[in-house]
Amino acid sequence: MLLTARLAKALQLTLAVVKPDGMAHPLVLEALHQKILDNSFVIVKCKDLAWKKQDSEKFYVEHAGRFFYQRLVEFMSSGPMRAYVLAREDAVSHWRELMGPTKVFRAIYTSPASLRGQFGLTDTRNTTHGSDSMESARREIGFFFPEFSVEAWMQQEEPAFRAGR
């Protein structure tokens, strides 16, 4: 892959997660994976994991006190998930766009081809997570992949990536 200087400037990493509802059927999981590949994301890291309730509470602390918080925390610790570190130009906004709106009814009516529009079950069980900014991506990648350094990847891997390794 040969990226132009302009695109390389916008090269980003983001965190994408298949939530427990998306893991429940192998065909849904496969469709989600294919969507990543079809949209020219490079899979930098990928692993399956499961959260304890405390992990879920910590990750979603910004929503503590909201009416859906307990439901969200229970759901996110209810089964396995698949986490990806994805790279491409404008990865953060591109993945958010592919996911579609947070609320599934809105997704179904306004973005039926989005991941949440296609596969989401409820506002809580909405299939996928994606970082909402580069700053969140850095923090969230660290949460899921503590051994991975975004800074080191940008310094060591990104130049090789740019050169079309």
Q: Which residues are catalytic?
A: 129
Q: Which is nearer to ligand GDP, 41 or 59 (CB)?
A: 59
72 binds ligand GDP (CB under 6 A): yes
Contacts of 37 (CB under 8 A, 6+ apart): 43
Q: What is the dihedral of CA 131, 132, 133, 137, to 10 degrees?
A: -10
- Count of residues near ligand GDP by CB under 6 A: 10
Q: Does 124 bind ligand GDP (CB under 6 A)?
A: yes
Instruction: Give the DSSP per-residue string, 36-75.
Output: HHHTT-EEEEEEEEE--HHHHHHHTGGGTTSTTHHHHHHH
- Write the interaction track for Mg ion spanning residues 107-146; mark x where CB under 5 A is met and - where it is not: -------------------------x--------------
Determine contact, residues 91/44, Cβ cutoff 8 Å: no
User: Could you tell me if 144 and 40 are in contact, meaning their C-beta atoms sit under 8 angstroms apart?
Assistant: no
Among candidates 106, 88, 99, which has minimal Cα distance to 130?
A: 99
Among 71, 106, 138, 139, indicate the residue that binds ligand GDP (CB under 6 A). Answer: 71
Binding mask 5-44 for ligand GDP (x = CB under 6 A): ----------------------------------------
**What is the binding site for ligand GDP (CB under 6 A)?**
63, 68, 71-72, 102, 123-124, 126, 129, 132
